[in-house]
Amino acid sequence: WDFLILFFCLPVVIFNEITKKRLLGDVSCRIVPFMEVSSLGVTTFSLCALGIDRFHAATSPQASTRPIEQCQSIIAKLAVIWVGSMTLSVPEILLWQLAQDTSPVSGMLTEYCTMKPSSNLPESIYSLVLTYQNARMWWYFGCYFCLPILFTVSCQLVTRRIRGTEKKSECRGTKHGQCEGHLNCTIIALTIVYGLCTTPENVCNIVAAYMSPDMSKQTLDLLNLINQFFLFFKCSVTPVLLLCLCRPLGQAFMDCCCCCCEGCGPDTSSSESSADSKLKTEMSSSIFFDKPRETPPPLLALGTPC
């Protein structure tokens, strides 16, 4: 989802700031906020799911021998996270629309997105969208800021408490404990980055909600632009941070990139290294297991001369 934000939303915002024209018109005014709010939901619910996973790992009676989760279960969790985030972001599509205004500085006709529900909506849907607009600031603050931070902090405190009581009995191996600690540090780092990048948006939303009559449109547009670029920064840093901290995932990513860049021909260095490793494996295994298959020495004549 971070890739989709950078691939689609970032060019639209930059194009609008340079030309004062909205790329794709009214469609981008509805899709860009929908994708940005969905990104917050995906990150929020992913951090909550990771916190639950760490809690289960700490409270499992046989955590060191716990089987690897099946692919179907992981895909089901991702589907719930993505579908839930997109469902909660549907009001953004009905809330925004394209507007035009004449710039007081240059006198040119500029296009911008305004938060104003369309009057053509049915009465019931229109009232729901208005209710969402009035509660949008606190919904942002409670669901997309407080929920992931409090959830992650609570799971980490409970996990550390359980691990502290189990250190005396030494129920967990050293290697397993280091792996669990490394995963906990990864979740904490992701939460810190998310909290730092979403704090300015929540502060600006609260300030704009209570001081918007005293603020000019240029100031509000500047605050909105700053919030969007903080979101773009979060989408850029999170994958890099995840690949750097999660060593197996980062190594798999690098191996995949090297395979795509170098190809899969027989003359590539990867194939040579794989062949060398295969040869070394065969040689090392032959030391212990292949001796019965070696060519036996010529048999000597045994027994009496008769």
**Domains (range + CATH), the chain:** 1-61+69-94+122-164+180-208 (1.20.1070.10)
Which of 116-125, 193-202, 294-303 has the weakest average pLDDT? Answer: 294-303
Residue 34: CB partners within 8 Å, gap ≥ 6? 86, 89, 90, 92, 93
Amino acid identity, position 44 = T
Q: Is 10 exposed, middle or buried (0-12, 13-18, 19+ CB in 10 A)?
A: middle
Range among 184-188, 229-233, 261-265, 289-293 with highest mean pLDDT value: 229-233
Cα–Cα distance for residue pair 119/112, rounded to 1 Å? 18
pLDDT, mean over the chain? 76
189: amino acid identity, one letter: A
Per-residue CA distances from 70 to 44, 67, 282 (Å): 23, 9, 32
| pLDDT for the residue numbered 261 | 65
Residues 240-266: what's their mean pLDDT?
A: 72
CB 65 within 8 A of CB 103: no
pLDDT band of residue 275 (cuts 50, 70, 90) is very low
**Phi, psi of 98, deg, nearest 5:** -80, 140
Report the 10 Å Cβ neighbour count for 132.
16
Can you read off the two tokens belonging to residue 129? 């969208």
Which pLDDT tens digit goes with each residue over 46-62? 988 888 887 777 776 65
What amino acid is encoded at 214 in this protein? D
Count the helices and strands in the chain (H runs, E runs): 11, 2
What gap in Å lies between CA 83 and CA 120, rounded to an integer?
Answer: 27
Q: Confidence band (pLDDT; 50, 70, 90) for 281?
A: very low
Sequence-ordered alpha helix ranges (H) in the chain? 2-4, 10-19, 26-59, 71-88, 90-95, 123-141, 147-166, 174-211, 217-245, 247-262, 269-289
Residue 62 has what pLDDT?
59
Q: Which residue blocks in 20-70 are alpha helix, DSSP H? A: 26-59
